[in-house]
Copies of this chain bind each other. A is one copy, B any other.
């Protein structure tokens, strides 16, 4: 990738997404605090994001919005006063949400507050302690081995005080009040794939949709993981009934193949769409996974009392690439091609969301005469017919109100775009009618 020679205007989408990742990478984010606010303000350069601030102490279901954390500096100095660890080198060096500390400790005591990766001795791990008050540092295991048995001065210049939890929300109104939820976590500090990639792809998708005439409304959430989705869900229970499709986005910049993780039920329209798109990308290694109650905010969206039709789209899933939650998950680990391809796949999801319908055949007794409506070749006798004509026949046969166009694409093996186009031709000819939108049998 030769990114040096390109300028913003002639960048590919992959290039633009990459540039945004680079811009966001240095900021020290957490589940609350100014890092997240700074990040959300940058998003406002691209989209008209609404930033919400939820006060510390607010009850959200079983949880409470925590104190706000901010940090200005942190280091460990040896007995000579040399910084052996410096927050300014990498914000991963500090245990995220570390309480403030300023004291002298022996190597033995210090070690109780250090996190390393003995199996990946060059890398700094990413560790957090949001809900238990601890101080700590993360460093490479090789660095740890160089530490002498002496007295160290440790300092974390952080605050943990009443404040608020911030998240960003963009609602794009479509024709219908029914909506599509796109959610990504923004709480990680200097980690690129997890999840500046998901955030940055989502933001470019949102930007593209702002210019479209949309059937559904689209809601983009840029939230801290876990507490953010819980907070949003607790404050928006009245909206949940409108959500027809949802996707959690993460890890969209590595060079692995796309992976769609199904929703809790496993058989909802979002699951069928995910499967359809992954199947069409089987040659590239795209795959589908069953639901697992671990991962990202789909854990909350798919909890039994919420149970939304929300899947998760990633390339290599979390924890399955060695760079995961380490200093090696940096912009250099990202590929412009992968970012571009992830955005492209998301556009395919949008095409399915917008184009999926459940129709009723208005002439269900025998095939209607397509020839007289100009929809059928007048010369008969050939062994094969075109995919677009087969799509007409499939739709007419299956349009009994219990099969969506996505179902029909799956059953027939015909590309969704061809199916959707055929459905439009049939509707144009007065042969189909939509099942009422409020009949949500097949969501």
Residues of A within 8 A of B (CB): 61-63, 95-96, 115, 125-132, 134, 226, 229-230, 233-234, 264, 293-294, 299-300, 302-306, 318-320, 324-325, 361, 363-369, 371-372, 378-385, 390, 393-394, 396-400
Give min CB distance, A325 to chain B, whole Å.
5
Give every chain B residue within 8 A of A130 (Cβ-Cβ).
Answer: 380
Some 15 contacts from A to B, beta carbons below 8 A apart, are A95-B379, A125-B381, A131-B369, A131-B378, A132-B379, A293-B397, A303-B365, A304-B398, A305-B361, A305-B365, A305-B366, A306-B366, A318-B383, A324-B383, A325-B381
Query: Which one of B300, B318, B325, B363 contacts A61 once the chains associate, using CB atoms below 8 Å?
Result: B363
Which residue of chain B is the closest to A361 with respect to CB atoms? B304
A62→B299 CA distance, assembly (Å):
51
Assess the B394–A364 pair: CB atoms within 8 A: no
Q: Which secondary structure dominates chain A's binding surface?
A: loop
Which 10 pairs between the two chains have the least Cβ-Cβ distance? A305-B364, A319-B383, A132-B378, A293-B397, A305-B365, A128-B380, A293-B393, A304-B400, A62-B368, A127-B381
Please state if A62 and B366 are interface contacts (CB–CB under 8 Å).
Answer: yes
Q: A130-B380, A299-B393, A366-B62 are in contact. Are A385 and B306 (CB under 8 A)?
A: no
Contacts of A383 in B (CB 8 A): 318-320, 324-325
Known contacts A131-B371, A378-B132, A383-B318; is-contact A397 B366 (Cβ 8 Å): no
Closest to A92 in B: B381
Q: Are A129's CB and B293's CB within 8 A?
A: no
Cβ distance A298 to chain B, nearest Cβ, rounded Å: 11
Residues in B with CB closer than 8 Å to A371 are 131-132
In the complex, what's the smallest C-beta–C-beta distance from A314 to chain B, in angstroms? 14
Is the CB–CB distance between B367 and A294 below 8 Å? Answer: no
- Asked if residues A367 and B299 are in contact (CB atoms below 8 Å), the reply is yes
Copies of this protein chain in the complex: 3
Q: Are B303 and A364 in contact (CB under 8 A)?
A: yes
Contact of A294 among B365, B393, B399 (CB under 8 A): B393
> A306 vs B129: C-alpha distance in the bound complex, in angstroms?
58
Of B126, B303, B394, which contacts A366 at CB under 8 A? Answer: B303
For A397, the chain B residues whose CB sits under 8 A away are 264, 293, 299, 302-304
Q: Which residue of B lies closest to A399 (CB)?
A: B304
B-chain residues with CB within 8 Å of residue A131 when the two chains form the complex? 369, 371-372, 378
- Complex: chain B residue closest to A138, CB-CB: B381
Chain B residues with CB below 8 A from A319, complex form: 383-384
Q: Once the chains bind, are A294 and B125 in contact (CB under 8 Å)?
A: no
Would B303 and A396 count as touching, CB distance under 8 A?
yes
* B-side contacts of A300, CB under 8 Å: 366-367
Closest CB of chain B to A422's CB: distance in Å? 12
Counting chain B CB atoms within 10 Å of each CB, which of A62, A96, A306, A324 scores highest?
A62
- Report the bound CA distance from A291 to B390 in whole Å: 13
Chain B residues with CB under 8 A of A390: 293-294
- The smallest C-beta distance from A64 to any residue of chain B, in angstroms, reads 8
A123 shortest CB reach to chain B, Å: 13
Could you say which residues of chain B place their CB within 8 Å of the CB of A299? 367, 393, 397
Bound CA span A382–B138, Å: 13
Say whether A129 contacts B394, CB under 8 Å.
no
CA distance A295 to B371 in the complex (A): 17
